Amino acid sequence: MKIALAQLNPTVGDFAGNSAKILEYSRRALQNGADLAVFSELCLCGYLPMDLIERPHFIDRNERELARLAKLLPLPAIVGYAAHANGATGKSAANAAALLANGKIEFVQTKMLLPTYDVFDESRYFQPATAQNVFLFGDQKLGITICEDIWNDKTFWAKPLYDRDPVSELAEQHASLIINISGSPYTIGKRTLRSDMLRSLAKSHNLPVVYVNQVGGNDSLVFDGGSVVVRGELSAAGDLGLGRARRHCVLPVEVRCSLKCSAETSWTRGISTDLLLRLYPVTTTLRDP
């Protein structure tokens, strides 16, 4: 399966502009031969909309725009958005990832782990997921997670913050790869910490991890991108980083693996940006030591 990692710079509240970017880079992904395009956390409405989430019409707009996108996308895509939480109790909104295909919303996974430290206050706005489920896409079982959901690996953290581990729950359901959409802000040392954590996560579960983070700035937050595919100790196709020519990138990544993952996984990449408008094909084959 060939996956396109779309590292964009969305704007909070700009539904028309964000939707246009999603459509544009979905078309580029299709042109590069991708089977699936993956976009970042809350990319439809921009991250983080904070108190806008408490306005019902803002959530309504998210869901209307998502339904419209589903009918227009030229290939299947995973898109982050703010959804209604329809439980009898709790918050009225959820941080969600939708898999759009065949002109409709095929699958929705909401965020389970809601951070309340540093710049984050997500439990103020969102209702957490009660379950984590895989989705069968072709012959692959996708484990779709959102940002913090992958930051609770018991083999990496001496003292995990949460009782539940969404990735472990997906691995128990025989997920063939983990996809994580993020809005992870930059801090000093974050890129090294994130890279080490992703490698540990992939190695401990013996699963490829597809990580897509946004880039650019919103309000007081700066996002450093760094979208990447990782398997064990090896990273695929490098790190998209933050460079000026890589504010918006499409990275097609070919992941060949069975449900148990083969001993060899290869990736093919091609990077195209709205600044360079050229394609740079690079092929890398990585083998486990």
Closest CA to 47 of 217, 249, 273, 194: 217
Cα–Cα separations (whole angstroms), residue 143 to 81, 210, 231: 17, 10, 15
pLDDT tens, residue by residue, 159-177: 888 999 999 999 999 999 9
CATH number, domain containing residue 276: 3.60.110.10
- The question of whether 65 is a catalytic residue gets the answer no
Q: Residue 180's pLDDT is what?
A: 97
Average of per-residue pLDDT values in the chain: 82
Taking the C-alpha atoms of residue 98 and residue 83, their distance in angstroms, rounded to an integer, is 10
pLDDT tens, residue by residue, 129-159: 999 999 999 989 999 999 999 999 998 898 8
Query: Does 239 score more than 90 pLDDT?
Result: no
Q: What percent of the chain has pLDDT over 70?
A: 80
Whole-angstrom Cα Rg for the chain: 17
Q: What percent of the chain has pLDDT over 90?
A: 58
Cis preceding linkage at 251, omega within 30: no
Taking the C-alpha atoms of residue 286 and residue 274, their distance in angstroms, rounded to an integer, is 29
Taking the C-alpha atoms of residue 240 and residue 192, their distance in angstroms, rounded to an integer, is 14
Catalytic residue selected from 45, 147, 257, 261: 147
- The question of whether 261 is a catalytic residue gets the answer no
- The question of whether 41 is a catalytic residue gets the answer yes
Other CB atoms within 10 A of residue 278 CB:
9
pTM value is 0.84
- Mean pLDDT confidence for 69-93: 95
Catalytic residue selected from 21, 41, 43, 257: 41
Cα–Cα separations (whole angstroms), residue 60 to 11, 37, 39: 18, 24, 20
Phi first, then psi: what are they for 216, rounded to 5°? 100, -155
Taking the C-alpha atoms of residue 90 and residue 85, their distance in angstroms, rounded to an integer, is 8
Q: Look at the chain and report how many structural domains it folds into.
A: 1
Taking the C-alpha atoms of residue 149 and residue 153, their distance in angstroms, rounded to an integer, is 9
Rank 58-67, 158-167, 217-226 by mean pLDDT and report only the highest.
58-67
* pLDDT band at 233; cut points 50, 70, 90: low
Domain that holds residue 282: 2-287
Phi first, then psi: what are they for 139, rounded to 5°? -105, 15
Q: Residue 267's pLDDT is what?
A: 29
Catalytic residue selected from 43, 45, 111, 257: 111
**19 near 69, Cβ under 8 Å?**
yes
